[in-house]
Chains A and B, each alone.
Chain A
Amino acid sequence: MSGLLELSGLTVAFGRRGARPVLDGVELSVGEGEIVGVIGETGSGKTTLARTAVGLVPPRSGRVVFDGREISGLRGRALRAFRRSGRLSYAFQDPLRALDPELTVRRAVAEPLAVAGDLGDTDIAARVAEALETVGLDAARLGDRPPGAISGGQRQRVLLARAIVARPRLLIADEPVSALDASNRNRVLRLLDRLRTERGMAVVVISHDLSSLAGIADRVAVLYRGRVVEQGPVREVFGRPLHPYTALLIASAPSVRAEGGPGAAALRPAADPPAWTAREGCVFAHRCPFAIDACRTAPVPAPVGRGRTAACHRASEWRELIAAPVTARRPPGTGLLEAAP
């Protein structure tokens, strides 16, 4: 499959050699006009994945291919020319830090166009007004304010306006909704969906919040400690997870949990996991109730069905292990999570 953005074998490590990599052999593909969610807990490498994809972090190994061209090796003039084209854009996680406190909203949003330098001032102003309008901001009222003088939700949308002002083909949005209240969150998510349908823009949404992805993403990739443990169409992954970690994530988020899926209690790890789990083998082994000796060799993502991969030696078996005894083993205290009608 060849998509718009192809990450292959991406490995990133900070600090000393030999330290555990932040990303380990990540494979991810994003097609034209597709919304791909990347989920995982804090520290799982989501942001590093995004930063590596856009070229802020050099990968130790692996390739980033955008639109058929390897961009991870670009340097100097070629890199600058590619960045100025504005085809790949990245919306940072924290708008307060990603917006210069001294630049007004209008100047901040205009920055990508001003840097590219191929539009006149009037064209830039028109594009900025259009971008602000797209994200639902009143340019006349907010345009001349610094980011410190607008609300958090507005700032988040200014960041999005800046990310889409150059009309990218792919937007990587890092936790675009995590700092927002429910109404602003839905607004931003609807906006991303609209950009996809109206402009055919592909979007990678990074989130730790499953429910915000469930509504808009076509596919999701689940990251755990720097590895993609599972990947596939959102409905299938959330409906029938193939990896115990995905199952645990879903069991912990009542809003997206499919009826009849395993509960969190059933996925609780053994009291004392084997000592080897800390050093080697499957990244999830130390929390996995189904870990066996085979898990001492790290599983590679293997295709399961159409467009799905899972990195688990027991992807086909673990479900049966809990199917029968789960109700009997369930402790009374977990009733809240289990309360499916």
Chain B
Amino acid sequence: MRTLRRAWRPTSAKVALLVLLAIALLAAFGGWLAPHDPLAQNPRNMLRGPGPGHLLGTDYLGRDVLSRLLEGSGRSVAGAVEAVAAAMAVGVPTGLASLWMGRVGEWLAQRAVDALMTLPFTVFAIAVVGALGNGMHQAMLALGVLYAPLFFRMTRAAGLSLRHAQYVESAELFGASVGRVLRTHIWSKVLPTVIVTAAHALATCLLVVSSLTFLGVGVQPPAATWGGMLATDLGFLTQQIWAPVFPAALIVITAGALNLLADAVRDAGADELLPGGAPDPATGSPAATAESPDTTKERADAALPVV
């Protein structure tokens, strides 16, 4: 928790938070702020540039771009948040549980995760949508399942060194239950890692939503999302070279703010490690070294981007 409190200090973190707050407001009240009906088509007013009537111009059906961006922000952000929440709900508890599974359980969990990671993303998303029906929630659920291994591995890697920390051993010597050890000794130290991972995953999910929409999976036209608008605008590049800039800018700003925030959390966590705070399992007792499995593979895997 100290890590999180320290993370608020740098200016970059404050700026990032302000930006995210603005995005959150946009997501909540965007549709209400929209000056025009985001779905109203106007064939006589197609592919117009920014002007007094339509501040950001109109798209290929004459719909107001600003209104569509505002109205679509809630859907885009909610989609990304839903996917990441699903991924965390599946990945984090299993990652923590894997620390106590024993050799066989750990092996099985790891292989299951390996198998999940080999699934080609697009094919899996289409398969899920085919099985469960096409819709935003189904697509986001599929995305969440595919992101779960990332959270599993990150949580597990962060917790693994703590599992054999002497203060955890000593809590076990006092007779502490697994739940208690997790609450008092492990969760607060794993949390910054989970937050950093979540921030990165959210940023990627915002972009992935667009690639799904591009395939016609997930959000269905004419409903607007940032990713979907980016995808359609790319089809009219010759007529409107500037058009993709608006949705892209929103995605970039949101992703950038999330990354800034994640960096601040990570840096605060790195400070924590400096003044002799963190345990080092490698120099532990002979029992700890003999029993703790090699984590290098997991760390390397965790560092890989999923998409």
Question: CB within 8 Å of B: which residues of A?
Answer: 14-15, 22, 47-48, 51, 54-57, 79-84, 86, 89-90, 92, 94, 96-103, 111-112, 115-116, 148, 162, 166
B174→A83 contact, CB < 8 A: yes
A-B contact count (CB 8 A): 79
Say yes or no: A98 contacts B170, CB within 8 Å.
yes
Using a CB-CB cutoff of 8 Å, which residues 264-295 of chain B contact chain A? 272, 275-280, 284-287, 290
B170 — which chain A residues lie within 8 A by C-beta? 90, 92, 98, 162
Asked if B239 is at the interface of the complex by the 8 Å CB criterion, the answer is no
Chain A residues with Cβ below 8 Å from B106 are none
Interface pair A96/B276, CB less than 8 Å apart: yes
Are B167 and A99 neighbours in the complex by a CB distance under 8 Å? yes
Interface string of B162-182 (1 = CB under 8 A from A): 000111011111111100100
A48's closest neighbor in chain B, by CB? B286
Chain B: minimal CB distance from A320 (Å):
39
Which residues in A have their C-beta under 8 angstroms from that of B276? 96, 101, 148
Query: Are A115 and B176 touching (Cβ within 8 A)?
Result: yes
Q: Does B1 contact A (CB under 8 A)?
A: yes
Starting from the known contacts A90-B170, A98-B170, 12 additional A-B residue pairs (CB-CB under 8 Å) come to A48-B285, A80-B175, A92-B166, A94-B166, A97-B165, A97-B166, A97-B167, A100-B167, A101-B272, A101-B278, A115-B175, A115-B176
Is there an interface contact between B287 and A51, defined as CB atoms closer than 8 Å? Answer: yes
Interface 1/0 per residue, B243-266 and A, CB below 8 Å: 000000000000000000000000
Q: Does B184 count as interface, using CB distance less than 8 angstroms?
A: yes
Q: List 19 A-B contacts (CB under 8 A).
A: A14-B286, A22-B286, A47-B286, A56-B169, A79-B175, A80-B175, A82-B175, A83-B175, A84-B175, A92-B169, A92-B170, A96-B276, A98-B170, A100-B167, A103-B184, A111-B171, A111-B176, A148-B277, A166-B174
B residues less than 8 Å from A99 (CB atoms):
167
Grouping DSSP codes into helix (H, G, I), strand (E, B) and loop, the B interface class, with mixed when no group exceeds half, is helix
The interface size of chain B toward A, counting residues with CB under 8 Å, comes to: 31
Asked whether B156 is an interface residue with its Cβ less than 8 Å from the other chain, the reply is: no
CB contact between A83 and one of B2, B173, B188, B280 (< 8 Å): that residue: B173
Inter-chain CA distance A48–B266, complex, in Å, is: 36
Contact partners of A102 in chain B: CB under 8 A: 1-2, 188-189
A86 to B176, CA, bound (A): 12
* B149-206 contacts to A (CB < 8 Å): 165-167, 169-177, 180, 184-185, 188-189
- CB atoms of B285 and A116 under 8 A apart: no
CB-CB under 8 A for A116 and B174, given A22-B286, A48-B285, A148-B275: yes
B174 and A112: CB pair below 8 A?
Answer: yes
Question: Of A48, A82, A115, which is within 8 A of B287 by CB?
Answer: A48
The answer for the CA separation of A112 and B272 in the assembled complex, in Å, is 26
CB-defined contacts of B284 to chain A, threshold 8 Å = 97
- Contact with A90, one of B2, B171, B173, B272 (Cβ below 8 angstroms): B173
Smallest CB separation, B228 vs chain A (Å): 44
What A residues does B165 contact at CB under 8 A?
Answer: 97
Instruction: Judge whether B185 and A100 touch: CB under 8 Å.
Output: yes
> Please, which residues of chain A bring their CB within 8 A of the CB of B285?
47-48, 51, 56
Cα(A102)–Cα(B3), bound, Å: 10
Inside 8 A of B287's CB, which chain A residues have their CB? 14, 48, 51, 56-57
B278 & A56 in contact (Cβ 8 Å cutoff): no
Do residues A115 and B180 form an inter-chain contact, with CB atoms below 8 A? yes
* A15 CB contacts on chain B under 8 angstroms: 290
